[in-house]
Amino acid sequence: MTQQLAVAVLGANGRMGAEAVKAVEAAADMKLVAALGRADSLDQLASSGTRYVVDLTVPESTEANVRFAVEHGMHAVVGTTGWDASRLATLEALLAAKPETGVLIAPNFALGSVLASALAAKASKYFESVEIVELHHPDKVDAPSGTAVRTAQLIAAERAAADVPPSPDATTSERAGARGCDVDGIRVHSVRLRGLVAHQEVLLGGPGEQLTFRHDSFDRASFMPGVLLGLRNVAAHPGLTVGLDGYLDLGF
Residues 164-223 that bind its own copies (CB under 8 A): 167-183, 187-197, 203-223
Phi-psi label, residue 98: left if phi above 0, alpha if psi -120 to 50, beta otherwise: beta
Among positive and negative, which fits the CA dihedral 132, 137, 141, 147? negative
| Alpha-carbon distances, residue 122 vs 146, 183, 231 (angstroms) | 19, 18, 26
Question: Is residue 233 at the binding interface for its own copies, with CB under 8 A as the rule?
Answer: no
140 is catalytic: yes
Nearer to its own copies, 55 or 201 (CB): 201
Binding window for its own copies (CB under 8 A); candidates: 57-65, 78-86, 92-100, 135-143: 135-143
Shortest Cβ 56–its own copies spacing (Å):
16
- Please identify which of the residues 75, 136, 189, 199 carries the catalytic annotation: 136
Cβ contacts of 55 within 8 Å, gap of 6 or more: 10, 11, 62, 65, 66, 69, 76, 77, 78, 79, 80
Residue with smaller CB distance to its own copies, 8 or 135: 135
Strands 186-192 and 129-136: parallel
Binding mask 90-119 for its own copies (x = CB under 8 A): --------------------xxxx-xx--x
**Among residues 101, 199, 90, which one has the least CA distance to residue 147?**
199
CB of 15 to its own copies, least distance (A): 13
Asked whether the beta carbons of 100 and 250 are under 8 A apart, the reply is no
Q: Which of 18, 88, 143, 242 binds its own copies (CB under 8 A)?
A: 143
What count of other Cβ atoms lies within 10 Å of the Cβ of residue 160? Answer: 12
Size of the site for its own copies (CB under 8 A): 80
Task: Select which of 22, 122, 140, 237 is catalytic.
Answer: 140
How far is it, in rounded angstroms, from Cα 30 to Cα 114?
A: 24
For position 46 contacting its own copies by CB under 8 A, the verdict is no
Q: 136 catalytic, yes or no?
A: yes
In angstroms, give the least distance from the CB of 55 to its own copies: 21
Contact window for its own copies (CB under 8 A) among 1-9, 35-43, 83-91, 123-131? 123-131
